[in-house]
Structure 1
Amino acid sequence: IEFETKTPMGLWRQRITLIADDPARPERELCELSMGKSHTINSERLAKIIPNFMETKKIYMVDYPEVIDGSTFGVTKPEATQALFNQISSGTALINFIGHGNPTQWAQEKLLIINEERNDINSMQAELKLPIWIAGTCSWGQFDAIGQDSFAEALINSSINAAAGVITTTRGITVSSNIQYLEKIFREIFKGDSVTYKSIGSILQSVKTGSSDGELFHFFGDPAMKISIPTQLVKNSKVSPDTLSTLSIGTLSGESPFLSGEGYFILEDGYKEVKKLFNYASRQEEISYQMNGPTLFRGSFNYENNILSSQFRVPKDISYSKNPATLRFNVTDNSNLQALGSVTGIKLTLGSPSNDTQGPIISFETENGRNLRSGDFLKYGESIVVRISDPLGINLTGEKEHELILTNNFTQVETNITNKFIYDMNSINTGTFLINNLPESDEISFRVNAWDNANNPSESEIRIKITNSDELSLINLFNFPNPMSMDTKFSFELTADAEVSINIYSLEGRRIKKILPELCLLGHNNIYWDGKDEFGQLPANGAYLYKVTAKNSSQKIDQIGRLAIFR
């Protein structure tokens, strides 16, 4: 109920993830090579059914490196597993898998698995961006094994929200029956250039024709539920100019079916043909498929009076593909109705070089907008917002050595967070990504590396103290400048929100100035003093004491400091 009533808006609702098993195993004989290749080839058949207004993300296991793990079969592909986790976190309306499987596992390389040592469901963080899973594999939903849940059962029953529903088999299935049924499902979802209004139960009822393939597939979930892909489409949108050069600005325009609201859009470079080599039965084989081009821009906008008009910038890192770029977008109204659209055939070309040599500005803040700097405090469970700004915009292509990278300074673990960055509303210069699920420790430290659209790099890092207590403390109190001449600032950190007042005294104990209480938030704060006493006069040169008092509803603390005045 919560998913259907509070479904998040955004680009994830027009995204489909296609996953294909590795062609190299477990087949061993040359006569079985076609079966190994069929997983990727059949995923490509599904990709051709998906209309242009949908974004297709492909996780083809042949693309990922092998890791020897010492198990019975000896090979895993953890980067492929992580790529799937990343897609679930970013959000995707549908996940489709074609390949080998059993009740608790995808692929011999353990793309997904649940057993006593490993439960991949615990690593899935979809929040309410819940996908429908479609698994064209063997027995992944076998529900009649006494004492053991299949992966599909565990996924739909898990308290970790990772699936709105699962369509999969309960027994083994042949390659031909598998793809025939999957194609029927996709053609029923996307009829022509539209999205079905039918519920999932009605979709499956339409494609179950009594054939043996349909008998093997079942749905785990509410059959009255509808797929989260919006059904309304935006027609006659365009991008101008029709040919865009690198570092130039383009404009999306069109007419929304809604009076006013917000929208999200993504510019994707032209697709490319990929030939991948792999070892099979002691010989080298190859397989070909299409891979989507890199993301060039990802932003948001608002609109009024049904008119769409939003700008974007083309980065220097285009692929110079012979295939044109595509812009996909969606718009929502104030009641969360949503419509999809796309513009295809966008030509990209080389533009004039830039004289800019400065990298982007990287800063850190809390979700409520409080600026963070090294040494600040965060409450346990809070998140960090990383803001990246540059006059030429931020490079989002994810090209090698030009990725947005987040590094944990304590573990040196690097995470590519390019896909998590989104520009601010109506901006082509500044945007953010969120660091959540922070490590459970007293102190954390991160480094962020980013590039602007002219490929100028920047790096920034921050060290934050985590407090899991409501105890009020006043830390790192000082004033600057000290000695002061005309005015000064009192700088300090709080471990909880509090009202802070400052009293300034002569060495004889006479109060010369009271700075009235003001609300200060957890973390670093400054309070300004203009250097004048209660009578508006400048005190004489000499040494003075000050007392800073912080109090909230349950606690009060004082701290004494010393300052000097010298003119």
Structure 2
Amino acid sequence: MNYGEQKLIIPYFSGNSFRFDTAKKSITLMLNLNQSLFSSSNSIQITNVFYEQISAADLGDLIQNNIPEKPNESLKVVSSRGNQQSFLILSPIIKDGNGFKKIKSFSYSSTGSTSKTNNSTLTQKNAIISNSVLASGDWYRFYVEKSGVYKISRSFLQSLGFDPSKVDPRRIKIYGNGGRMLPLANNIYYPEDLIENAIQISGENDGVFNNEDFILFYAEGVDNWNTESQTNINLYSTKSYYYITSVGNEGKRIPNLIQPTGNATLELNTFDDYQSHETDLTNIAHLGRQWLGESFDINQEQEFSFSFPNLETSVPVKIEINAASAAYTPTSFTISSNGQNIGNISFNALITNSDTKYYNGKLPANTTFTGTDNIKIKLNYNNNGVPGSRGYLDYINLIAKRRLLGTGKQFKFQYDLAGSTIGIVNYTIGNAAAISQIWDITDIYNVSKIDNAGQSSFSFKATLGEVRKYIAVDAADYYTPLKESQSKIANQNLKGTLLKNNQNSFQDVDYVIITPKSLSSQAEKLATFHRTNSNLVVKVIALENIYQEFSSGKQDISAIRNCIKYIYENASSPDKRLKYINLFGDASYDYKDRVTNNTNIVPIYHSLNSNTVGESSFASDDFFGLMDADEGNIISFFGGIDIAVGRMLVSDNAQASEMVNKVLEYHDIKSYGNWRNNFVLISDDSDQSSDASLQSRQNALADVIATEKPFFNIDKIFLDAYTQEASAGGSRYPKARTDIFDAFEKGALVFNYLGHGGEDGLASERIWEKSDGQNLNNQYKYPLFITITCEFSRFDDPTRPTAGEYTFWNPKGGAISMLTTIRSIGQFNAENFNDSLSKNLLSYGSNQYNTIAETLRISKNENPSSSSNVIFYLGDPALMLAIPKPRINLTKVNDIAISQPIPDFKSLSKIKISGEITDENNALLSNYNGELATAIFDKMITSSTLNNDGNSPVMQFKTLGETIFRGNASVTNGQFEFSFVVPRDIRIPVDNGRISFYSKKNEALENQTGYNNVIKIGGINENAPQDNISPKVKLYMNDETFVSGGITNESPFLLAFLEDENGINTASGIGHDIVAILDGDVSNPYILNDYYQTKLDDYTNGNLRFPFRNLAPGLHTISFTAWDVYNNPVTSEIQFTVVGDDSLTLSHVLNYPNPFSTYTQFWFSHNRPYEPLDVQVQVMTITGKVVWTKNQTITTEGFLSRDITWDGKDDFGDRIGKGVYIYKLTVKSNLTNKKAEKYEKLVIL
């Protein structure tokens, strides 16, 4: 199998239940038992196991030491929206003495309770919905950076805008939840609102806040060790916010500590002191939560200083160091302190083309050394003589034992063994005269105190059994908080309003859109659409408000999750729970905007593993949809996603507007068309033998879809079926590229690519590059683009936009949404997931469909693996795939019911088709009036791959036959009929053909689909009438106002209008295609058969509209040839001049009629179709006096404008004299501010 840039050999197992662990290089069977009766108390046992010997060579790149001696079967039960799924997990390969064997088959049984358990605790929860403390009153915000005792003076309050002279100080309150990161795990408590902190106000008893009065309180900074993320630094924020108010009654004050009354069982005059060094300077791989500090490249020896006053030198200092190395040679760090060797950290060499970008290393656990009051830790990096090697320090943590003595500074202290000791401890503090108080800060919201009346030595008692934390308060060392430019904050009340409607009554929420305030107007536009069109209750929630209530003002991904969880858990019933989350904003690996042009708009979950671009260093939006108690910290993903999540990659209002408009256009009446019947599957070729399964799996999937959803017209674009061409940059498939982008612009509901890829595009042959996504022009025909490949849409790295992002961002083309990847994914896992995803997306066996995001949620829950983490849904999570409704039925051929033997579709036979629109129960929709589009295909074609690279066997596969007719007919009262003549160029052998129907209802957003695979196509009509008359053709560029020789932009459309009594041939007979030749290049013809459509109810008339792209400036000639069904040709030419899109160019400036008396139009050609243009016409006398001015904004679909008219009167409405006048035409683009002008003459009679 392939994994990113790595090529791995592993044993192959068929089926979707096997998982390859890229970190352990092991295979696991994870069988979904499709049962909900198991509980976590069950155990599983396998019996009747049949094995087959397997050689060590067959293990390939599996690590043999990770292969167990037993299958080690286990049962895993997960819950999603209250529904349980059970998985049997075992090792399918085990050791057998000195050999190995694999399991061929087995039986299983479970023991323990089989009663279904319901993890859901949801009941009617209106009673617990409460208001935020921020809902009323005046609130002022400030912040701290480090933990400690802070002093707030009168002047600081005034600087916040808080007027202490108007407030009884006894009512002053401080709220805040500290600067630590919120827990990732759901089962670790964190407040749902701001908590009032106990504070101390000196001088408040007189009810006046005097100049000398002040507030003391303990504030927790952003400098706390976090076990989940293995860091001392808050990853998301540099500020810990607190809030001050005087709303309500008297505030919470710091009480005296209640000491135990018994005798002390332990006397202590020492404490455990924690110090660390950590700086977040670089993220090597641009992913994950781990940021590294100092770099050891030029300076390979660096020293870090720590101060431990009054160190107890008899107790060794504990040291923890984490470091990293990025080197293609073995390297190491040597660590010492004050000349004393502490230890070494060694690193393996990186492997070329590996997804691993660096290695982490630690000192052994419980490493210690003998310290002094001033400790210097020296790190020396050994690069093994390779200058390009680079080491990094992550953090240094020291734990030292100090004597409990005052130092003239505030300091924290604790006894680490208190948790494992019972009794009463007596702390004795020496040199304590300057220590005014000891605060117990174990509970930062409820601090308590012990006063010291100036004693140089004093003591206090505490109960053992838990580790309690204290701080010595020294009046000479209070910290001072900081403020931002805007301190007063607006009232808000998310918790009290999110589950309320406009009438303040309880209302369940279906869909939340989470975005910063700067993008909220566009989010509201999308929300309004879904409220009206999707019947969803939608709430737009500002990130800033979430942080204010749920994380004490600071950015934190868990605050977003907790807000979502609040809505989810307070639903009125389980079936009313929140369904969709839209993260309306781009994301980044950098939460703190250290990267230029950062895109951290709505933050994303990043894994702790940060050293590989593979599956183990993932990012995830699923985090926000994991609601159960045992979820949250995604270490090893195991399904259980409760809410469907999507992300719309927008960074500013303009981009947000474009992406929301695409969603609206996807539902616009203009988007309704037979392109919705098309489904394109693309497969990579076999660059190595392990790739062979790509095309076979994609072909098998295509055939399954054709069986399960036969109304789809399946287009298979398998690279190995095309001729591979050599180029200076490597092998290429130019014809496959053309077919892919032609299919995009013609339109397909889904594009599904399976194969290799990366940030820059798809396949090593570069069938898709970054610029391709930008240049697509398929407005109103936006597909879902599925790319279960490597890193195609790695959107969380703002330093390198990807091909997938450009495809999503295209405002008038590209994809409406994407099921895509942001990291490397193993081929084996990708193939399996692609099959599962398609099954759920298309709801095999049902006509009831889920949203695309819900499809991904279901698929991940059914197939949990490390691969699942790297697959994302980019787009609106409430978006339904625009699959037309069933059904359109063929009822008659040449007035013969299809229940009878019907005529074959013979060459040159005139065929009459009759049919009807019905509901799913085949009842005629007699009130249905609309238009029908029909495509009739010749017999299936058997094609073969070419084994271009010599790495895979030749594979035969079937594709749709040539389109022998494409036309449009009216539907009246649910019924339709039309006729056409079968082209001479059909293939003569008789076999089943295919009819594909699509209809859209008049003046309604409703469409239907249908098909028939029973018709027979082939044979010759021996009695066909003669026809030797060629078709008629008229050619234009962009629209019918174009005159040959006129100007166009660089990407114009060719319009051809054709007429023939028997119709136009689209059957792709040899030499009888509809063809356009550009500038005489006959070796590169443009085949236009698939672009031709008949007029409504008239198969003798039709037209085509074909896009040319990126033509060079200058004169061009198109030679056009078409054939009727009798193979009579017609040829015509058209010329046009391309003007570069950088300039605005005018030509053919005139007024018509000229001369005139009472009416004329001003005409001009330009190269800016579809752009709003500001046009000014000024009519002047020969001497230059302006007599009439007209300003008008116009937009043209083509290159010719004739929108401005004049009646020959001046600006005052008076008729001007006869004679010759000059007029100036000025045109300016609203989009680019480019301007052009021309002068011409006119004559008034």
TM-score (norm 2): 0.36
Q: Is the 8 A contact 2:746 2:1091 kept in 1?
A: yes
177, 181, 198: which one aligns with 2:829: 177
Q: Tell me what 1:262 maps to.
A: 931
1:378-393 superposed matches below 5 A: 383-393=1053-1063
- The C-alpha deviation readout for 1:362-385, integer Å capped at 9, x for no partner, is 212476645x6645x467687552
Q: Is the 8 A contact 1:499 1:520 kept in 2?
A: no
| Cα gap change, 1:383 to 1:551, in 2 (>3 Å) | farther
694, 702, 724: which one aligns with 1:39: 694
864, 876, 891: which one aligns with 1:211: 864
In the alignment, residue 1090 of structure 2 is paired with which amino acid? Answer: N
Aligned length in residues: 486
Report the more deviating stretch, 215-224 or 382-391.
382-391
In the alignment, residue 266 of structure 1 is paired with which amino acid? Answer: A
412, 416, 423: which one aligns with 2:1094: 423
| Cα gap change, 1:159 to 1:37, in 2 (>3 Å) | same
Query: In 1, Cα distance between the equivalents of 2:889 and 2:1128?
Result: 38
- The C-alpha deviation readout for 1:497-534, integer Å capped at 9, x for no partner, is 523448xxxxxxxxxxxx997869779xxxxxxxxxxx
Query: In 2, Cα distance between the equivalents of 1:237 and 1:43?
Result: 34
Q: Is the 8 A contact 1:85 1:125 kept in 2?
A: no
- The C-alpha deviation readout for 1:340-399, integer Å capped at 9, x for no partner, is 1112211123223553233322212476645x6645x46768755211222221111234
Q: Is the 8 A contact 2:990 2:1019 kept in 1?
A: no
Q: Tell me what 2:25 maps to.
A: none
Q: Tell me what 2:476 maps to.
A: none
> Is the aligned partner of 1:105 residue 2:757?
no
Q: Is the 8 A contact 1:95 1:133 kept in 2?
A: yes
Q: Tell me what 1:456 maps to.
A: 1128
Aligned partner of residue 41 in structure 1, secondary structure: helix
Q: Tell me what 2:911 maps to.
A: 250
Q: Tell me what 2:731 maps to.
A: 75
Structure 1: segments with no counterpart, 5+ residues: 474-494, 503-514, 524-547, 560-567
1:396-475 superposed matches below 5 A: 396-409=1066-1079, 414-436=1085-1107, 439=1111, 441=1113, 443-464=1115-1136
Aligned partner of residue 130 in structure 1, secondary structure: coil
In the alignment, residue 1134 of structure 2 is paired with which amino acid? Answer: I
CA shift for structure 1 position 87: 0.7
CA shift for structure 1 position 22: 1.3
Query: In 2, Cα distance between the equivalents of 1:239 and 1:193?
Result: 29
> Is the aligned partner of 1:278 residue 2:947?
yes
815, 818, 823: which one aligns with 1:163: 815
Aligned partner of residue 879 in structure 2, secondary structure: coil
- The C-alpha deviation readout for 1:105-139, integer Å capped at 9, x for no partner, is 2111111123xxxx222332212210100113223
| Cα gap change, 1:104 to 1:466, in 2 (>3 Å) | closer
Query: In 2, Cα distance between the equivalents of 1:404 and 1:225?
Result: 37
How much identity, in percent, do the aligned residues show?
21
| Cα gap change, 1:441 to 1:168, in 2 (>3 Å) | closer
In the alignment, residue 947 of structure 2 is paired with which amino acid? Answer: F
> Is the aligned partner of 1:128 residue 2:128?
no
1:235-384 superposed matches below 5 A: 235=889, 237-240=891-894, 242=902, 243-256=904-917, 257=925, 259-281=928-950, 285-320=953-988, 323-334=991-1002, 335-352=1004-1021, 355-365=1026-1036, 369-370=1040-1041, 374-375=1044-1045, 377=1046, 383-384=1053-1054
Q: Tell me what 1:4 maps to.
A: 666
Q: Tell me what 1:221 maps to.
A: 875
Query: In 1, Cα distance between the equivalents of 2:666 and 2:1120?
Result: 36
| Cα gap change, 1:48 to 1:379, in 2 (>3 Å) | closer
Q: Tell me what 1:190 maps to.
A: 842
| Cα gap change, 1:55 to 1:358, in 2 (>3 Å) | same
In the alignment, residue 787 of structure 2 is paired with which amino acid? Answer: A
| RMSD between superposed Cα atoms in Å | 3.3
Aligned partner of residue 955 in structure 2, secondary structure: strand
Aligned partner of residue 912 in structure 2, secondary structure: strand
Query: In 1, Cα distance between the equivalents of 2:1116 and 2:1126?
Result: 31
Q: Tell me what 1:55 maps to.
A: 713
Structure 2: segments with no counterpart, 5+ residues: 1-662, 897-901, 918-924, 1166-1218, 1226-1239
Q: Is the 8 A contact 2:932 2:999 kept in 1?
A: yes
In the alignment, residue 1153 of structure 2 is paired with which amino acid? Answer: E
Aligned partner of residue 857 in structure 2, secondary structure: helix
Aligned partner of residue 52 in structure 1, secondary structure: coil
In the alignment, residue 392 of structure 1 is paired with which amino acid? Answer: N
Q: Is the 8 A contact 1:237 1:343 kept in 2?
A: no
**Larger strand percent:** 1
Query: In 2, Cα distance between the equivalents of 1:414 and 1:275?
Result: 24
Q: Tell me what 2:740 maps to.
A: 84
CA shift for structure 1 position 330: 1.0
Q: Is the 8 A contact 2:910 2:980 kept in 1?
A: yes
The structure with the largest alpha-carbon Rg is 2
| Cα gap change, 1:549 to 1:199, in 2 (>3 Å) | farther
Q: Tell me what 1:498 maps to.
A: 1152
Query: In 1, Cα distance between the equivalents of 2:999 and 2:1221?
Result: 47
- The C-alpha deviation readout for 1:420-465, integer Å capped at 9, x for no partner, is 1111111211211124557464644211011221222221112246
Query: In 1, Cα distance between the equivalents of 2:1223 and 2:985?
Result: 52
| Cα gap change, 1:284 to 1:92, in 2 (>3 Å) | closer
Q: Is the 8 A contact 2:1048 2:1136 kept in 1?
A: no
Query: In 2, Cα distance between the equivalents of 1:518 and 1:59?
Result: 54
| Cα gap change, 1:284 to 1:329, in 2 (>3 Å) | closer
Q: Tell me what 1:20 maps to.
A: 683
Query: In 1, Cα distance between the equivalents of 2:1116 and 2:1221?
Result: 26
Q: Is the 8 A contact 1:374 1:463 kept in 2?
A: yes
> Is the aligned partner of 1:557 residue 2:1242?
yes
In the alignment, residue 977 of structure 2 is paired with which amino acid? Answer: S
Aligned partner of residue 393 in structure 1, secondary structure: coil
Q: Is the 8 A contact 2:776 2:810 kept in 1?
A: no
CA shift for structure 1 position 189: 3.0
| Cα gap change, 1:120 to 1:367, in 2 (>3 Å) | closer
Query: In 1, Cα distance between the equivalents of 2:952 and 2:667?
Result: 51
> Is the aligned partner of 1:93 residue 2:749?
yes
| Cα gap change, 1:498 to 1:44, in 2 (>3 Å) | same
